[in-house]
Chain A
Amino acid sequence: MTTQARPSRARPAWVASALGVLAVSMVAGLLDGAADISPWQVVLQAVDWLPFAHVDSGLAPVEQGLLYELRLPRVLVAAVVGGLLAMAGAGYQGVFRNPLADPYLLGAAAGAGLAATAVIVLLPSAEGSVPIAAFAGAVGGVFLAYTLGNTAGRAGGTATLVLAGVAVTSFLTAIQTFVQQFKVEELQRIYAWILGDVGGGWDQLWLVLPYAAVSAVLLLVHGRMLDVLSVGDEEATSLGVRASRVRFTVLLAASLATASAVAVSGLIGFVGIVVPHVVRRLAGGSYRSVLPLSMIGGAAFLVLADLVARTVLAPAELPIGVVTMFVGAPFFVGVLRMTRRAVT
């Protein structure tokens, strides 16, 4: 056989380099902070945390505690949230066959924002339940958009779903603005939540991890099906695939990923557009490689974004959502221009 063509799965070389970038950014994330700890000691300490590995990093217990209780969970939450958002973005883009689809497209962000605002304003004593409320709000927003999209138009059609998402987002945002006007003194806290934060510690991580695992596995196994879906519903049907079922499952998994990310970190925009797009440029358009590489790349991206957020105005912190938007919005315009050129 002379053909050299192989099916596009994630090539080991790409996975390895993505993991390398992730490792470097995580060590960089651990490095930054007030205390003066050398990079080598951080690497040694990180190896020491791994199971079955015992290395003496030469760090004092206080420094070890600082790394373990503050910096490590922060880096890990950023990695998990970034991975989830990037993967969810890739999933939505596959389902909607649109490279600009976003994890927040179907009303997830607006739903989470409304629920979090409602808790902060109306139930100030139950502040600990903001993540759970945000999760429920995100799921509710997507559910609303999906139901609306399916009853308003042809069942499972993508255009009506997107429009329903826009309608639901506007409506929920209006209610959220209305609710927050009841307690103007809470505006700062509401905005601090909305603009995103990954500094919640180990609790935040344990909260998000089970949902992260389930949605990541669901998305990763659907890579080939998303490739089939990319030829359109009719052709996918003629290939024996129930397109609406695939779409529903992927939407469910991507929305679960988004909701759990939003619940622990607030609204961090553009990760889901920027990362899958870069991956597509570098490693090709098949979702069998876009999904896993987006997961790793998204993790690295958000760890670095958090690092920037912590250092630019040190000792003050910038909300991480501001950093991703600052990078993401110009990038979005760039993608838009390139997409237009490709279409015409």
Chain B
Amino acid sequence: MIGASAVSVRLGGRDVVADVGLDVHRGEWLAIIGPNGAGKSTLLKAVMGLVAHRGEVTIDSRPAAALKPRARARLVAYAPQSPALPPDMSVFDYALLGRTPYIPYLGRESGHDRRVAASVLDRLDLTELGTRRVGELSGGERQRVVLARALAQEAPVLLLDEPTTALDLGHQQQVLELVDRLRRADGLTVVTTLHDLTVAGLYADSLLLMAEGRAVAAGRPAQVLTEALVGRHFDAQVKIERGPDGRPVVHLVRGGP
């Protein structure tokens, strides 16, 4: 559904992303993991076409570079790590922004656009917040509102940059379960960066481990989350066990490295 081959991004004279490829099939969830500064967010931006890059990105087997911005926005929705939330805007208006790729440049939203925004808010239990100002929301509510905007885009591919940062345990679970549910219900293809390795291994079908701009490992969670790989690339001493569902659980070892 979404693929990238030999993608490189040069920022400030440094290869932030070097020669990385990925391939995610329809309905799959790929989590990009790696230490700080590995280039995870930049890779996501390159896939979204937000930074200049070399290499090719394909969306639905079409080269992304050939797509007009609006056409691309109908295929891929993106939620950044720290979204700029206009404090005075109402939650409903904010969700409605997700309909932008369907509204003519100087036109106004149709009844259908309003219904889509309303139904997305409904699915995310945000209907009651519809008239509230975005600036008044709590951290967990904000994350859901940003997700609502991305979902209102009705794009088959969802790119989420650290969707759970700054969320407590319960809210993390709430957001991830929501994404997982929507993925199963609508066949969405999901690509996220995630800093919590256990969480990444728990929800994603496959992992891409990046370090210093390069892809150093890719595959099923059990193949990527090994003590050797994590230890080397995160410079950490960890113990990895199988969780109750067979997925890897990463523990820090006290006293290391």
Chain A contact residues, CB within 8 Å of chain B:
1-9, 97, 221-222, 224-225, 227-228, 230-232, 234-235, 237-242, 280, 284-286, 342
Contacts and interface: CB of A to CB of B under 8 A. Distances in A.
A7 B50 contact: no
B24 interface: no
Nearest to A236: B100
Given A239-B101, A240-B70, 12 more contacts: A1-B115, A4-B130, A5-B118, A5-B121, A7-B114, A225-B106, A231-B85, A231-B97, A238-B78, A241-B69, A241-B100, A284-B88
Nearest to A288: B108
Interface string B89-115: 111111011101101011011000011
Contacts of A224: 103, 106, 108
Nearest to B132: A5
Contacts of A225: 105-106
B256 interface: no
B131 A235 contact: no
B135 A8 contact: no
Interface string B44-62: 0100111000000000000
Nearest to B98: A239
A240 B69 contact: yes
B139 interface: no
A227 B85 CA distance: 11
B88 A285 contact: yes
B239 interface: no
Contacts of A235: 78, 80, 83-84
Interface of B: 45, 48-50, 68-74, 76-78, 80, 83-94, 96-98, 100-101, 103, 105-106, 108-109, 114-115, 118, 121-122, 127, 130-131, 133, 135, 153
A239 to B, nearest CB: 4
B127 A342 contact: no
B68 to A, nearest CB: 8
15 contacts: A4-B131, A6-B114, A228-B97, A228-B100, A230-B86, A234-B45, A235-B83, A238-B77, A239-B98, A240-B70, A240-B101, A241-B69, A241-B100, A285-B88, A286-B88
Nearest to A242: B69
Given A234-B80, A239-B97, A3 B89 contact: no
A16 to B, nearest CB: 21
A285 B83 CA distance: 18
A5 to B, nearest CB: 3
A7 B98 contact: no
Contact of B50 (A4, A231, A237, A240): A237
A5 B90 contact: yes
Contacts of A228: 97, 100
A286 B122 CA distance: 22
Given A8-B93, A227-B89, A228-B97, A240 B73 contact: yes
